[in-house]
A and B are shown apart, each in its own frame.
Chain A
Amino acid sequence: MLVCQTKYKTAKMKKRRLLQTLLGTTIIILLSGLQLRAQQKTITGKVLDAENNPVAGVTVTVKDKNRATVTKENGTFTISASPGDALVFTSVGYEMQESRVRAGSEIKITLTATANSLNEAIVVGYGTQQKKEITGSIVSLKEADLPKDVTPTINNMLQGQAAGLNADTRSAQPGGGLNINIRGQNYPLYVIDGVPLFDNQAAEPAISSGGNSNEIGFSGGVDRDPLENINPNDIESIEILKDASATAIYGSAAANGVILITTKHPKGNNTVTTEYSGGYTVQTPKPYYHLLNATDFETQQDRLAYDQYLYNNGLAPYGTNTTGPGYFPLFNQTQIDTAGQGTGWLGLLMRHGIIDQHNISINGGSDRTQVFASFNYYDNTAILKNSDFVRYMGRVNIVQKINDWVKVGLNLTMSQINSDNASTGANDGGAEKFNSLQSAYAFSPAVKIYDSVGGFTKTLNSQIMNPAAFLIIQDKLQTGRILAAPNVEVKVLDHLKVNLVGGIDRTSSNRQFFMPSTANNFLYPDGVGQLSTQSIQNYSAEGYATYSQAFGDHHISLVGGGGYYKSFNENTSMQGVGFFTNALGYNDIGLGTNIAQNYVQSFHSLDVIKISQFFRANYDYQGKYILTVNARRDGSSDFAANKKYGVFGGLSGAWRISQEAFLADSKVISDLKLRAGYGTVGDDAGLNALELYATNGGSFLIGSGGAATYYPSVSASQLANPNLTWETIRNTNFGIDYGLFKNRITGTIDVFRNDRVNLLNAVPLPANNAVSYLNVNIGSQRSQGVEFSITTKNIVGKSFRWETSFNIADYVNRWLTRNPYNPLEPYQGVHDRIDEVYGWETAGIIKSTSQIPSYMPLATVGNIIYKDVSGKGQLGTDDVVKLGHSSPAWNLGMTNRFSYKQLDLAVSMYAKLKMYLQSDYYAEGLLSAARLSVSNGQNTITAIKSVWTASNPNGTLPGIASDAYAGLNPSGYNNFFYQNVNYLRLSNITLGYTWNIRKAIKSVRFYGTIQNVALFTNYKGYDPELSSQAPVTASAAQTGATATNLLGTLNPYPQALSMTFGINATF
């Protein structure tokens, strides 16, 4: 007790003084109140910032009266005013604030920092810097900049928000994944509260094939964002580090940029702020694939099958035969006439969705302990049945001051997601492996759901499972994540502090799958069950020291430290096949009686261990000339002994021209900073140089009957290369930060050049070698681009305000030097763009024999006409031309914010211009005549009516006949189903009304939001965002893959229009 008393003496004394002051003030006010009610009196008060620190130098004026004062060092002020007067508080870097003088209380004002303020703290990795000191290319998004409505994941909040950052939705499913790329590079490094996540992937396991060919096939379906289990409401800021001078402090993991996510810092001194936000959303499916109805299905089947018959038997117009074996139409006229609309299979799977979300957070503390805690509940009844998603998340961020020089903290979040999973997306097999959406596209609309005995019906191709049968599949996922970042900060000396930060990040997911025998699946008619788990784990320990001191006009800040990191993932899966009962579902898959198809497997990835030292120095002279040096040395277990270590570094400088005397009086330029930076970072491209044998070469059955053994095989998979090391990215960046007309207009312009050298490449060895490739560091690429962002305060009225943020970016990624072992095709240039699409040009289809070009003698009616560009009278290599670029020429984002008194309105949109895309309908085979022309035909979209046949001479899509020239096309591609696509998505409109009550409830905001409002596009497919290709990576490009191979999601989860009504309340 005694110890405690001495220890807390100073604090207690302070408290007592405060009480005395308060008491004194109150007495004075009371007395004066008795004397003269509405007379002028002396008002005292205190001005604090959001962190509860006193703010000095704030101008306090009595509104409409010529009286003013300035706050002292401790934030207090005294001024004389009458009750009812308005006090106005103004200070550089803070929003202006007004407060009415009331009788009987000391005024306490908390100022909020101005958005885009130059003093704003920017998280830069192992510390923060003020915005004005930043020398690299960094975009900082604060809570206020981010959408306030119901967003499922953090990555969703980034869409259209930052120049140079692309966030494309990959799947529209609840919590669905996004492709995030910074300046055209995929997979940035995420750092959450200082913890780098080197293995950042969603933990949900796919339905496994177990190495067995009899796999279920629709293994896809779950495509979640790795950040699905971090609460978007907890975010305080997101910093996007774009250039190497900024990211170099993360060294070998920072090749693709770094995204720093900071969760809410606990604040409050004997205050508690409680916030509640809740929303109720109705989701309406957007128009999805337009499938043929029953009448059309039967009509089109007969039409195409007849031409198939003509073609197979060489009958006119395809051949010269005059008699054939006879044609038997699958459907007769009576059937067609009575078929009607038939069953709408997609409608059976889809419905209106509902999102119910509640979020509550408490922020507060004492002078020693501050706590931020939040709880989130998110329940999405999804638009696709059987894919419901429920999420519970909790967070506690604690900062505890042990004494004046030791502070400990813990950022802890835990989450649990329970979801069902409807099978969508990619598929690896034929009709027997169709997922729920594919089966709904393909199933004949002419059949009913159930047969006469209540079983699921079959379509023409009896291997396709009935779409309704997918609804009785049990497919549960439980994903839990714990992310804990304990930290200690010690102020060793006045100017020196030491931080230790630990990181434990564990995401584990279980999948329980059971398809009962009643689903009548072709591959597993007696039922199949699977249990699988996957766990992604990141561990880290970092320690660093920060020294910061000013010597007159010189200010120096140094950070140095080291870290140890380990990441790995492990998974297990087991399958049981053949169940005599469906009663137990996945709860007892050991009941599976089909021993040959049951299996158990497990996997543990190589532990990737990394050891690093890092360093940063900042020097700043008079706040005008700023220099930053970043460096990191990384050791990785991925490479051989002599290449384990790599050193990466960055140097950048800035000149704040606006601080110079000659601009001091400028009426136009209020802020101007020039930045220049150069840095190097690394990338291991996911490669491990030390694995030389693999077990993935398949198995072989030896033996007869019961004596048979399925032996695994082992074979060489990589040739040792002791010199293999990181790819290096050398980056140069020039930027301008500008503020005009008293910062009414602010923004940034950046130009950059990224040279990616020593590419990790699979050099092809002769195909007749046992291992036909060798991983080496060879070749280089150059990416150049420009980014522009501007924020304008268009109208700053007393009641009406309008602010616009706009960004636009472009980059081009080309070959600098190619891999000399990879000879170029004649049509490829040495320095071609990486996303170049090569192919033959087309000129429609051959509609009559007279249209068969002379250089295409093997062609027949219905074939595509390829252009003989070379004019040589035959098609070949020299007819291959550059068709387009798969990356968009421009990426744009714009947000407009309006406010009128208590009303606020925000409208966000983003756009991509000129990206060369293939129609996803074509990629899914929905435009192929062969789909419908056979007796086991599959239903398809209504566009199939445009297929050319003898009876449809004006058809525009290729007909039945085999294309003799497709196989002679050296590029493998033609532009028939390609186009340059532009799109603009009006992503969000939010209208809110804020009611400042200032009582028990401080304020309430009611809002309505429409998300995914509209899509404007010329794309002849479903949705160009879901179909957009990931930028081609160096390794993919080297192995011959072009952008066209990397078509995005097929059979995509349908898009929804979401309308939310919600409340935010602050207590």
Chain B
Amino acid sequence: MKKYQNKVNLALSVAVCALFVVACKKSLEPQELSELTPQNFYQSAGDANAALMTLYVPFTSNWGNDDPGSSGPTWYAALYNADPKTYLSRSMINTDEITNTAQDGITGPLENYTWGPDTWVGANDPTYYKVSYVAKATDIMSAINASAAVPANIKTAYIAEAQGLRAWLMFVLYDFYGPLNVKTSEATLTDTAETPRLSDTAYVNQMIRDLTQALPNLQPSYNKDAANWGRVSQGVANMLLLKIYMMKKQWAQAQVQAQAIISMGVYSLVTTPLISGQTAYQSIFNTSANPEIIYAVPANLTSPNYWPQEVLPSDYASAPGIEQEASGWQVQYMPWAFYNKYDPTDQRLSTILTSYTNVNGVVRNQANGMPGACPLKYTNLTANNEATSLDVVVYRYADVLLSMAEAINEQTGPANAYQYINQVRERAGVSDLSGLTQTTMRQAILDERGRELYAEGVRRQDLLRNGSYISTALAMGRSAQPYDTLYPIPQVIIVQGEGIISQNAGYGN
């Protein structure tokens, strides 16, 4: 028995010692079963594509995404989603084009021009925080460039796309906030010190430089490449350059740039319906990758287009020509005053709903409680839920023609501008313009852009360029201030900036 006892003691002592030994020898390396680390990433073209996708994600039509580089991480709304928080919506829903009904703490101040630097905190100011994606682009460009595993041709293509996306993100930020302190140099990416905002010239030049450098390495277009539709092409880079020149009122460069897009020969105005039974205009928004579309955010049921739901009345049951059964949120509508700018024969009205039957079987229209027209835009609505599979149209050839008309009119008056604006008018089935002065032509182009490009997120830019953004708001009874032409930098950024980051004029600090 004594012998046995010794054996047990020995075994136990070994076991206890083993637990100590384990503590010394056993590796504490974690097992990465579903996480990526520097050791296992950027090792293939697929990895590079996944990194590049980080820069596309902010443009999605889906609701939004977590920013993995933010603490938390924080969820932000996407740029081209239809929610009132997004870049798309804030570019139009407080103008005369669209009115928003949600009187909550987020949208109320937008609609009533009562926003301040503390109104949209964190995730409620999704656009500003895209500034981090500019740095992500810089990081991803250099990481793709440094990876030995990515084939050279793919490297060049992906870096060009990333550079184009960087410029696009910068343009979006510039549109809302003016020049920001974006990071376009790899060396500064992990600096802990705050940096001041760039000068206007430096910022604009950086955008132009990125686009110019990216252009030769981008594909001309993806309209005929179904698998890659939605990637940044030369068409997109050219369009961004046009937008920058227009915004800066550099009319001569704008005219050259518009001509460059026209001369590409890739894009054209769709004048015959692409879908039978629809107007030509109507069919553009119901047909993916048609020749008029320079860029659209691809959408399907996994990543839907929510615009129609955002504008359909919540008691909607049916309307002529629409298969859709499900109602919408009716968050925004087109005021009747704007709707009345259309000629009654305008074919573009085929995309705007002015009457529908509600769930109780009552027909509702302007005379019966509809607060405004329903700016559907997309009419091939077949699903019976909130999901719409139609691409969200962002840049379109008609915009190029109208910009061309505007650039010419601003330089030399209407004479050479008519041909461009009238192409658009003819397609809509309304009469040609003639006999206008430079001033009346300016107004005509603004109105035409309003009718043609409604719900495409251009109205705020158009009114700003025209100088009538504030006056339009005041005329609607909003308490707009002269400085409301730019949105404020979020207060938390100003505080964190400790005086280095300046606030936009009029917002204090």
Residues of A within 8 A of B (CB): 212-214, 308, 314, 319, 321, 325, 328, 405-406, 430-432, 458, 460-463, 488, 490, 492, 498, 500, 522-526, 541-545, 561-564, 594, 596-597, 602-609, 611-613, 633, 635-638, 644, 688, 690-717, 719-720, 762-774, 821-823, 825, 858, 876, 928, 930, 933-936, 960, 962-964, 966-970, 972, 1039-1040
> In the bound complex, how far is the Cα of B56 from the Cα of A716, in angstroms?
15
Residues of chain A with a CB closer than 8 A to B325's CB: 525
> Known contacts being A695-B36, A766-B192, A770-B132, is A490 close to B72, with CB within 8 Å?
no
Taking CB atoms and an 8 Å cut-off, the chain B residues in 350-390 that contact chain A are: 359, 368-369, 384-387
Closest A residue to B32 by beta carbon equals A606
Interface centre among B35, B38, B140, B477 (most CB of A within 10 A): B35
Q: A934-B101, A967-B118 are in contact. List 5 more A-B contacts (CB 8 A).
A: A597-B301, A768-B135, A769-B69, A962-B103, A962-B109
Is B429 among interface residues, defined by CB-CB distance under 8 A? no
Taking CB atoms and an 8 Å cut-off, the chain B residues in 115-155 that contact chain A are: 115-121, 128-129, 131-132, 134-136, 138-140
Complex contact A542–B190 (CB within 8 A): no
Is B65 among interface residues, defined by CB-CB distance under 8 A? yes
Query: Which of the residues B16, B59, B299 comes within 8 Å of A543, measured between beta carbons?
Result: B16
Complex contact B19–A463 (CB within 8 A): no
Is B181 among interface residues, defined by CB-CB distance under 8 A? yes
Residues of chain A with a CB closer than 8 A to B189's CB: 769-770
> Known contacts being A766-B195, A770-B135, is A460 close to B314, with CB within 8 Å?
yes
Residues of chain B with a CB closer than 8 A to A633's CB: 23
Complex contact A523–B385 (CB within 8 A): yes
Residues of chain B with a CB closer than 8 A to A720's CB: 38
Complex contact A606–B71 (CB within 8 A): no
Complex contact A609–B23 (CB within 8 A): no
Taking CB atoms and an 8 Å cut-off, the chain B residues in 18-69 that contact chain A are: 18-20, 22-23, 26, 28-38, 41, 47, 49-51, 53-54, 56-57, 59-60, 62-69
Complex contact A522–B31 (CB within 8 A): no
Is B105 among interface residues, defined by CB-CB distance under 8 A? yes
Residues of chain B with a CB closer than 8 A to A763's CB: 192
> In the bound complex, how far is the Cα of B458 from the Cα of A768, in angstroms?
26
Query: Which of the residues B19, B32, B384, B493 comes within 8 Å of A561, measured between beta carbons?
Result: B19
Query: Which of the residues B28, B66, B191 comes within 8 Å of A609, measured between beta carbons?
Result: B28
The 8 nearest A-B residue pairs measured at CB: A698-B65, A967-B119, A936-B314, A596-B301, A562-B19, A713-B53, A762-B71, A964-B114
Complex contact A696–B132 (CB within 8 A): no
Residues of chain B with a CB closer than 8 A to A694's CB: 35-36, 68, 73
Residues of chain A with a CB closer than 8 A to B117's CB: 967-968
Is B496 among interface residues, defined by CB-CB distance under 8 A? yes
Closest B residue to A688 by beta carbon equals B30
Show 7 A/B contacts (Cβ-Cβ < 8 Å), sorted by A. A463-B326, A561-B19, A562-B16, A699-B53, A766-B496, A768-B181, A967-B116
Chain B interface main SS type = loop
> Known contacts being A460-B315, A704-B229, A716-B136, is A764 close to B71, with CB within 8 Å?
yes
Residues of B within 8 A of A (CB): 5, 8-9, 12-13, 15-16, 18-20, 22-23, 26, 28-38, 41, 47, 49-51, 53-54, 56-57, 59-60, 62-73, 101-105, 108-109, 111-112, 114-121, 128-129, 131-132, 134-136, 138-140, 180-183, 189-195, 226-231, 288-289, 297-304, 313-316, 325-327, 329-330, 336, 359, 368-369, 384-387, 391, 477, 479, 491-493, 495-496, 498, 508
Query: Which of the residues B26, B111, B230, B302 comes within 8 Å of A564, measured between beta carbons?
Result: B26
Interface centre among A462, A709, A823 (most CB of B within 10 A): A462
Residues of chain B with a CB closer than 8 A to A611's CB: 22-23, 26, 28
Complex contact B304–A214 (CB within 8 A): yes
Residues of chain B with a CB closer than 8 A to A212's CB: 302
Interface centre among B53, B64, B191 (most CB of A within 10 A): B53
Complex contact B359–A458 (CB within 8 A): yes
> Known contacts being A611-B22, A769-B191, is A704 close to B298, with CB within 8 Å?
yes
Residues of chain B with a CB closer than 8 A to A214's CB: 301-302, 304, 386-387
Interface centre among A458, A603, A701 (most CB of B within 10 A): A701
Chain B nearest CB, measured from A1032 CB (Å): 15
Chain A nearest CB, measured from B242 CB (Å): 24
Complex contact A541–B135 (CB within 8 A): no
Query: Which of the residues A490, A524, A698, A1039 comes within 8 Å of B9, measured between beta carbons?
Result: A490
Complex contact B69–A637 (CB within 8 A): no
> Known contacts being A406-B8, A935-B314, is A715 close to B34, with CB within 8 Å?
no
Complex contact A714–B16 (CB within 8 A): no
> In the bound complex, how far is the Cα of B335 from the Cα of A370, in angstroms?
83
Complex contact B35–A969 (CB within 8 A): no
Chain A nearest CB, measured from B471 CB (Å): 17
Interface centre among B103, B289, B493 (most CB of A within 10 A): B103
Closest B residue to A497 by beta carbon equals B12
Complex contact B116–A543 (CB within 8 A): no
> In the bound complex, how far is the Cα of B17 from the Cα of A564, in angstroms?
12
> In the bound complex, how far is the Cα of B37 from the Cα of A970, in angstroms?
39
> In the bound complex, how far is the Cα of B190 from the Cα of A220, in angstroms?
38
Residues of chain B with a CB closer than 8 A to A325's CB: 336
Complex contact A711–B298 (CB within 8 A): no
Complex contact A693–B41 (CB within 8 A): yes
> In the bound complex, how far is the Cα of B38 from the Cα of A970, in angstroms?
40
Interface centre among A321, A490, A544 (most CB of B within 10 A): A490
> Known contacts being A604-B34, A696-B73, is A522 close to B385, with CB within 8 Å?
yes
Chain A nearest CB, measured from B341 CB (Å): 17
Query: Which of the residues B51, B53, B227 comes within 8 Å of A700, measured between beta carbons?
Result: B53
Chain A nearest CB, measured from B9 CB (Å): 5
> In the bound complex, how far is the Cα of B132 from the Cα of A498, in angstroms?
57
Query: Which of the residues A500, A697, A698 comes within 8 Å of B15, measured between beta carbons?
Result: A500
> Known contacts being A613-B23, A972-B121, is A711 close to B53, with CB within 8 Å?
yes
Closest B residue to A492 by beta carbon equals B9
Residues of chain B with a CB closer than 8 A to A1039's CB: 71-72
Complex contact A702–B298 (CB within 8 A): yes
Complex contact A597–B73 (CB within 8 A): no
Closest A residue to B231 by beta carbon equals A702
> In the bound complex, how far is the Cα of B60 from the Cα of A697, in angstroms?
12
Residues of chain B with a CB closer than 8 A to A697's CB: 54, 57, 65-68
Residues of chain A with a CB closer than 8 A to B13's CB: 498
Residues of chain B with a CB closer than 8 A to A765's CB: 190-192
> In the bound complex, how far is the Cα of B288 from the Cα of A564, in angstroms?
58
